[in-house]
């Protein structure tokens, strides 16, 4: 347990909290299932479902997100699509594009985060090791284990930083790792997109989202 994990995140503003329920209502009206498990993070739920469908259901999976941590889930059957700024701007990551774009294998994403930490999740990694140094180390020695086996090859300054912060290195890597054993399930039949036009119109008119009705090609009563 790391008490500071995500401790830098302020409580949700009062006017935002009711919108969580609202979002669920909207996704329900669109027939989109909302899946989660109490006490588990969304990343872990996503990872669990992705692994289940690729390994047990013989399916290809695409994960759409803005969270780069999910890149560790990339494999021959799992693509991670990272959204970028701007309409329709995104990058599709396969093992090949991850290697060419970032110089990393999927499993190395966890090692990179273990070394450099993650400011958004509030775990520090090795103090004094930034992304550039972390990336160089992971690329050269393949993994944290490889780095630790070759400490004598590192510059004295980098070696000292790592040796002085070993506990946080291992803890940060543990926090960065997505766990794919969450007790969560989703029936594929529930994921088929079948739009109930009446339900959609009722909800969108209630929320005064008429432009979305137009975008989705559903007619309003007004």
| Contacts for 88 with CB less than 8 Å, ≥ 6 apart | none
Residue 55 clears pLDDT 90, i.e. is over it = yes
In a domain, 196, yes or no: no
3-state secondary structure of 196: coil
Separation of alpha carbons 5 and 120, rounded Å: 9
**Closest C-alpha among 93, 84, 137, 97 to residue 114:** 137
User: 75-90: per-residue pLDDT in tens?
Assistant: 999 999 999 888 789 9
Helical axes 108-116 vs 166-176, angle rounded to 10°: 130
Domain that holds residue 94: 35-191
* CA gap 69, 43 in Å, rounded: 8
Mean pLDDT of 179-184: 96
Summarize the confidence of residues 39-62 as an average pLDDT: 95
Q: 41 in a domain, yes or no? A: yes
Q: What is the pLDDT of residues 138-161, one digit of tens each?
A: 999 999 999 999 999 999 999 999
Q: Is 208 part of any domain?
A: no
Q: Does a structural domain hold residue 204? A: no
In a domain, 56, yes or no: yes
* Residue 21 resides in a domain: no
Q: How many domains does the chain have?
A: 1
Query: Residue 120 is part of a domain; what is its CATH number?
Result: 1.10.150.20
CA 218 from chain centre, in angstroms, equals 32
Q: Regarding predicted confidence, which is higher, 204 or 52?
A: 52
Neighbours of 41 (CB within 10 A): 16
In a domain, 44, yes or no: yes
Cut 0.75: pTM above it: yes
Give the pair of three-digit tokens for residue 196.
Answer: 């109930």
Query: Could you tell me the CA-to-CA distances from 211 to 27, 47, 64, 204 in Å, in that order?
Result: 17, 34, 24, 9
C-alpha span between 79 and 164 (Å, rounded): 37
Note whether residue 17 is domain-resident: no
């Amino acid at each position: 347990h790391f008490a500071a994990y995500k401790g830098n995140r302020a409580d949700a503003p009062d006017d935002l909290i009711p919108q969580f329920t609202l979002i669920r209502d909207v996704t329900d009206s669109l027939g989109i299932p909302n899946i989660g498990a109490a006490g588990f993070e969304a990343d872990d739920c996503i990872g669990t479902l992705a692994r289940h469908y690729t390994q047990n259901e013989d399916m290809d999976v695409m994960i759409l997100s803005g969270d780069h941590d999910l890149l560790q889930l990339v494999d021959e059957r799992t693509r991670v699509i990272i959204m970028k700024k701007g309409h329709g701007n995104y990058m599709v990551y396969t093992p090949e594009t991850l290697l060419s774009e970032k110089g990393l294998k999927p499993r190395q994403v966890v090692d990179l985060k273990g070394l450099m930490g993650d400011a958004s999740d509030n775990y520090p990694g090795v103090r004094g090791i930034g992304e550039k140094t972390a990336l160089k180390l992971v690329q050269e020695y393949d993994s944290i284990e490889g780095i630790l086996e070759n400490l004598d090859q590192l510059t004295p300054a980098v070696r000292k930083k790592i040796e002085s912060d070993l506990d946080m290195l291992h803890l940060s890597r543990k926090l960065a790792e997505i766990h794919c054993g969450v007790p969560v399930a989703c029936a594929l039949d529930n994921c088929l997109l079948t739009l109930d036009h009446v339900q959609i119109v009722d909800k969108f008119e209630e929320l005064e989202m008429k432009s979305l009705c137009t975008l989705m090609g559903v007619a309003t009563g007004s």
